[in-house]
A = this chain, B = another copy of it.
Amino acid sequence: MMKPVILTGDRPSGPLHLGHYVGSLANRVHYQQQGWTQYIIIADVQALTDNYEHPHKVHDNVFEVACDYLAVGLDPAQTTFFIQSQVPEIADLTIYYLNLVTVNRLRRNPTVKTEIEQKGFRDSIPAGFFVYPVSQAADITCVKATTVPVGEDQLPMIEQTNEIVRTFNRIYKKEVLTEVRAIVPEVSRLVGIDGKTKMSKSLGNAIYLSDSADVVAQKVKSMYTDPSHIKVSDPGQVEGNTVFTYLDVFDTRKDEVVELKGGLGDMVLKKRLTEVLNNFLDPIRTRRAVFYNDKASVMEILKKGTLVTREVAANTVQEVKDVMYLNY
């Protein structure tokens, strides 16, 4: 098997949280350890498609997200970070790919359909948002990625990319672009502290990698547990108890967690979870603080990664333009 080339990343619309860690950051660290080629896109252009009135927010979160990456152990010597807006080759490819997708096909994209509802765009869908699956195909193909880790709900985006790849190669009669394979990680989401749905910034139910120990303690205190579990002697209801969900993920002493499930008061459990999370987050926070206080170095890392990416992307654009006879 050929060594995979991974493309993954985030919209910089807020700092990253434990949900991101569990669902993707941990896997990225793993890919890095495998020695795979990995590009991580900080997708500011995509973030702008539904934040175009808040460019400052997007700008600031590019740095925040980069600090999060570095804090969890993603290493610029092994993994290439880049800022989407600084790779104009992506825009160039997007424009050519747009010819290969119909308006109706975009309208049928299930991921976009759901997001349009969630965001309440109704009759005012920004065209930029509407076509972002095409721009995503450009993100992926510009570095000739072979493999993209995605959540279940993002699978239609990969299908859209592969449709573009196949149509392009067929019309322009050369295998310039490569189809990609999706990896759907086993654990792709972590429930929020409200216990209701996935952890998400917009739902206000997140614990951030950058939260202080005190903030973590407070958030754990407010966690949804089992309302029927009043006395310590009552058998603890484990199912639907968010504290246990988190302990299962983050507590390394699995045997003790099993014992705890026998029945213990919320106070005790939450104290333990606070400790567990803070133990987990401590080294991340320490590394994060170092990077956060040296913005120049972080931005230099992004600049270097972006340059590397531009070189690869420029090659792809050249190949694309060559088969389209856009060479004069």
Contact = CB atoms under 8 A, between A and B. Distances in A.
Interface in A123-171: 123-131, 134-135, 171
Contacts of A44: 326
A128 B98 contact: yes
Contacts of A80: none
Interface string A89-105: 10110111011111111
Interface string A163-191: 00000000110000000000000000000
Contacts of A94: 91, 95
Contacts of A59: 325-326, 328
Contacts of A325: 55-56, 58-59
B55 A324 contact: yes
20 contacts: A45-B95, A48-B96, A48-B99, A52-B96, A55-B172, A55-B323, A55-B324, A83-B328, A88-B89, A88-B317, A91-B91, A95-B135, A96-B128, A99-B127, A102-B125, A102-B127, A103-B125, A106-B127, A127-B131, A303-B328
A85 B93 CA distance: 11
A219 interface: no
A49 interface: yes
A302 interface: yes
Contact of A48 (B85, B125, B324): B324
B52 A171 contact: yes
A127 B135 contact: no
* Chain A interface SS verdict (over half): helix
Contacts of A131: 98, 127, 131
**Which of A95, A98, A131, A324: most chain B CB closer than 10 A?**
A95
B125 A85 contact: no
B126 A101 contact: yes
A9 to B, nearest CB: 15
A328 B86 contact: yes
A299 interface: yes
Closest 6 CB pairs of A and B: A98-B128, A59-B325, A99-B128, A52-B99, A91-B91, A98-B127
Interface string A306-328: 00000000000100010111101
A239 interface: no
Contacts of A317: 88
B55 A100 contact: no
A130 to B, nearest CB: 5
A305 to B, nearest CB: 12
Contacts of A125: 102-104
A214 interface: no
Given A48-B324, A324-B48, A91 B95 contact: yes
A32 to B, nearest CB: 23
A127 B252 CA distance: 50
Contacts of A102: 123-127
